[in-house]
A = this chain, B = another copy of it.
């Protein structure tokens, strides 16, 4: 605030410039990472534009395909995730959609989505051992041993619902077909063998968080951007769930996820040309 005679303090220092490298706005011109936004429209998909915005360059076709698959893989997981429940409880109060989405996004906490970043760091520990000459298998054994010693769950493995995560399998298959599987995927594969060898009840399969962590590692996406991708990818699901709550349910209802019944389309296949 402007007041006469006061000691200098940071908020009253002379105006100083600061920098941004994302989007340049000029009258009648919007450049995203240097590309005119109207030229990108119709030429890049939303997934490719997300990569451009976050990483600074247009992705190669292969990386672009993996980006789309990563974003699609998280798009929704039904009514039970706590983030979805937070969004539905906000919706039942009559709140606008953006408030429901914000409440849902806040539920992407340590135990929900945070595994991608943790798993990237976990794999990096293994790869550090590999760089020192240890085999992938031994490195996998060692980093799992460390988790067990610290009573920490192994990040990227196990799922509340699934004993085999179909999204993880698909993502690895795509990476293989696109020849984008590198050391991170090799590392998580090694950990997978270690995890499968554990006694019953402790044997856990790799989950989608783990698969994304490995793929992001191999295509050079740093952990904080992988975290951004997770947030972006689930927003459509949060929005769709909140919108369905608003459209199909009474306001101010008590919501028990266990009482929900699915009444949507039965299982179907994509049209032939899409397969």
Interface residues in chain A, defined as those with a beta carbon under 8 Å from any beta carbon in chain B: 1-3, 6-7, 9-12, 15-47, 49-50, 53-54, 56, 58, 65, 67-69, 71-73, 75-80, 82-83, 85-86, 89-90, 92-103, 105-114, 160-167, 169-171, 174, 224-225, 227-228, 231-233, 235-237, 239-241, 243-244, 246-249, 251-271, 274-275
Q: A53-B240, A86-B103 are in contact. Are A37 and B166 (CB under 8 A)?
A: yes
Pair A76/B95 contact, Cβ less than 8 Å: no
Q: A106-B99, A107-B93 are in contact. Are A262 and B21 (CB under 8 A)?
A: yes
Q: A228-B97, A239-B231, A254-B257 are in contact. Are A9 and B54 (CB under 8 A)?
A: no
Pair A259/B18 contact, Cβ less than 8 Å: yes
A16 to B258, CA, bound (A): 10
A25 to B53, CA, bound (A): 32
A98 to B79, CA, bound (A): 20
Pair B34/A6 contact, Cβ less than 8 Å: no
Cβ-closest chain B residue relative to A3: B26
Chain B residues near A246: list those with CB within 8 A.
224
Pair B261/A1 contact, Cβ less than 8 Å: yes
Query: What is the predominant secondary structure among interface residues of chain A facing chain B?
Result: mixed
Of B76, B107, B169, B260, which is within 8 A of A90 by CB? Answer: B107
Chain B residues near A93: list those with CB within 8 A.
82-83, 107-112
Chain B residues near A19: list those with CB within 8 A.
248, 260-263
Chain B residues near A10: list those with CB within 8 A.
160, 253-254
Task: Looking at the assembled complex, report how far the CB atom of A266 sits from the nearest CB atom of chain B, in whole angstroms.
Answer: 6
Pair A73/B41 contact, Cβ less than 8 Å: yes
Chain B residues near A263: list those with CB within 8 A.
19-21
A270 to B42, CA, bound (A): 12
